[in-house]
Every structure is written in structure tokens, then in C-alpha cells.
Amino acid sequence: MSFFFGSRGNKTFKPKKNIPEGTHQYDLMKHAAATLGSGNLRQAVTLPEGEDLNEWVAVNTVDFFNQINMLYGTITEFCTEETCPVMSAGPKYEYHWADGHTIKKPIKCSAPKYIDYLMTWVQDQMDDETLFPSKIGVPFPKNFMSIAKTILKRLFRVYAHIYHQHFSQVIQLKEEAHLNTSFKHFIFFVQEFNLVDKRELAPLQDLIDKLTGVNQER
């Protein structure tokens, strides 16, 4: 079955990952959405009192996957084998794909191919109930945080590619406020729980400093 976003392109893309209604994670997601609505992103990312950190990270990781999915979906017609023959975030940063299973040795590929591999891989992780349990009482695996860190590190690369290679098109589509808010939320979240190494964030460090108010007079 094919899924695609918007009327701008017919590019096949991943379906949204849904959190089942009636589950505790669904309630957490509603809480996150309500806090986000207040406009205070720093407050929105903090762990709600008495909640499980793994569950909070899982819910937010799914949310970021969906957000990035939709943001990238708006510019897929501009991100092609011709325009983006390598997956990069500016001239100094190039990403090669490997998932450790079907592709063990990192391969050089175009940005659309890389992002397709990446989103398929994330979707597969999230659909695996042993990694992302949605049922109450089913424990998270002991290595859940390292799984989440790898997912978030890779999702960051899609933001980095969009900012470096497609920002003019994002402005054309009047999507920049949406992109900036989503990315700022992502950065506050990964900083709050130390989920992505600073060196991984280097391609967008100037933007991160600007969005988070670093080096600005208070």
C-alpha cells in the first residue's frame, strides 16, 4: 500500500506511526501536546512527575518521527537523485547508510534513498513490540535508551539535510515557522535527556545556539 503526503508530490512515504488510543502512552502524548500548546518548549520536554523516563522518551520519539515525516513530505519533490546525489548537511558533513542487518557496511547513497532507508528502519523499530511496547505492564528492553539515541541521532540528520539543502524551498512553501518550532522542540528534548552527542549536532550548531538563546543577552 502506498502512502504519500500532501498534493505536492506522489512520492511514496512512510505511514504515520500511531500510538493506540486508551493506552497510557496515548495519555502521555495528549499531555505532551497540551504542554506544547502553552508555547513553553523547555517546560514541554520535562519528564512529567511520576512518569517512566523510557515511556516518555518513546512517546516523544514517535512524535518526532511523525513530525519529520511530514516536514520532509512537503519537500520530497525538491529532494531527488539529481538535486541531492549524496546525503549531506552542507559540504563538511556527508552521511552513509548502514543498519547493521541488511546493510552492514555503510553505503554512499542519494539523500532521498538515505531518508527512505532511515524512515523504514525507524518504522520497523517502532513497530517492534519488544523494543517499543505499547501495552501496559510490558517492560522496555534494558538497552532502550541506546536504541532511542540511535533513532534520534539519525532523525536529526533529516533536519540537518532540510536546513542545509532545502531551506529556500521551505521558505517558498511558508513552512519555516513549522520547521523551526519542530526543530527547537527536538533540540530541547534531546538536550534535556542528553540523547544526542554534541558532535552529532555540529552541522546545525549555529542555528541551535540561536534557537536556544545561547550567547544571547538575557
pLDDT bin (cut points 50, 70, 90) of residue 138 is: confident
Instruction: Judge whether 15 lies within some domain.
Output: no
Query: Quick check: 208 pLDDT over 90?
Result: yes
**Is position 19 within any domain?**
no
Is 166 known as a binding-site position? Answer: yes
Give domain status of residue 2, yes or no: no
**Which residue range(s) make up the domain with 197?**
24-212
Whether residue 142 is contained in a domain is answered as yes
Any known ligand binding at 178? no
The secondary structure of 29-53 as a DSSP string is HHHHHHHHHTT-HHHHHSPPTT--H
Please indicate if the annotation marks 161 as binding a ligand. Answer: yes
Q: Which of 50-64, 150-164, 186-200, 204-218 has the lowest mean pLDDT?
A: 204-218
Mean pLDDT, the chain, rounded, equals 85
pLDDT tens digits, 72-104: 999 999 999 999 999 999 999 999 999 888 888
Q: Would residue 144 count as lying in a domain?
A: yes
Q: Model confidence over 27-72: pLDDT tens digits? A: 666 656 655 555 678 888 999 888 899 999 999 999 999 999 999 9
Residue 13 lies in a domain: no
In a domain, 1, yes or no: no
pLDDT digits (tens, 9 = 90+) for 141-173: 999 999 999 999 999 999 999 999 999 999 999
Q: What is the mean pLDDT of residues 5-33?
A: 55
Is 24 marked as a binding-site residue? no
Nearest to 208 by CA among 188, 193, 194, 192: 188
Q: What is the pTM for the complete model shown? A: 0.84
Residue with cell 512537503: 74
User: How many domains are contained in the chain?
Assistant: 1
CA distances from 124 to 51, 157, 216 (A): 26, 18, 41
Look at residue 122 and tell me if it is in a domain.
yes
What is the reported pLDDT for 99? Answer: 84
| CATH code for the domain in which residue 97 is found | 1.20.140.30
